[in-house]
Amino acid sequence: MLNKVIIMGRLVKDPELRRTQSGTAVTSFRIAVDRDFKSQDGSKQADFFDVVAWRNTAEFVSKYFTKGRMAVVEGRLQTRDWTDREGGKRVATEIVADNIYFGDSKRDGAGEYGGAPAYNSAPSYSAPMGGGRGAAAPMDSHSDFAEIGEEDGELPF
């Protein structure tokens, strides 16, 4: 089975760190994700998703993310059932975050994060436009890859 979600959007309000009775850190927040199209009247539409982060990820989010900050959330969908105080059956669907990354730069975001890396993530890298090799990915003489010229005949696969 596969249950994987990756979304990018802005936090609707500041996340608040809470602790369970056993002391485990948890934070919940809502993220607004713009749709790729506009409505008939030309306005942008957004979807709002509830996100839950646990332990170190929760502490990271509550420390470095604020309302309006762009975040990339990687996780899984989960549903919870419960009975409310009036006896009604309730269901919540939320994203349980495994990794959370910054989706904007420090100057573009609403909050300050002091240059901290995303929790549980490798440094981000953007490949240069046009598929060429840029300064971030030099080709050295010990590389396992070599260009195949037209004079080489058939492709090796």
The 10s digit of each residue's pLDDT in 112-135 is 444 444 444 433 333 334 444 444
Q: Please state the rounded mean pLDDT for residues 74-85.
A: 95
| Averaged pLDDT for residues 83-97 | 95
pTM over 0.75: no
Whether 113 is in a domain gets the answer yes
Q: What is the CATH number of the domain that holds 80?
A: 2.40.50.140
Do the domain assignments include residue 65?
yes
Give domain status of residue 97, yes or no: yes
pLDDT at 47: 95
Please indicate, yes or no, if residue 68 is contained in any of the structural domains.
yes
The residue-averaged pLDDT of 78-86 equals 93
Quick: pLDDT tens for 7-44. Answer: 999 999 999 999 999 999 999 999 999 998 888 888 88
Assigned domain for 28 exists: yes
pLDDT of residue 118: 44
Task: Give the separation between CA 69 and CA 104, rounded to whole angstroms.
Answer: 7
Number of domains observed in the structure of the chain: 1
- Could you tell me what percent of the chain has a pLDDT over 70? 67
Indicate the pLDDT class of residue 152, thresholds 50, 70 and 90.
Answer: low
Sequence-distant (6+) residues with CB within 8 A of 36 are none
Spatial neighbors of 48 by CB under 8 A, at least 6 apart, are 12, 30, 31, 32, 33
Q: Would 135 be classed as within a structural domain?
A: no
The C-alpha atoms of residue 120 and residue 17 are separated, in whole angstroms, by 18
- The boundaries of the domain holding residue 112 are 5-121
Say if 42 falls within a structural domain: yes
Residue 48: name the closest of 12, 88, 84 by CA. Answer: 12
Q: Is residue 87 part of a domain?
A: yes
pLDDT confidence of 155, banded at 50, 70, 90? low
Residue 13 token pair = 């309000």
* Predicted local distance difference test score (pLDDT) of residue 113: 41
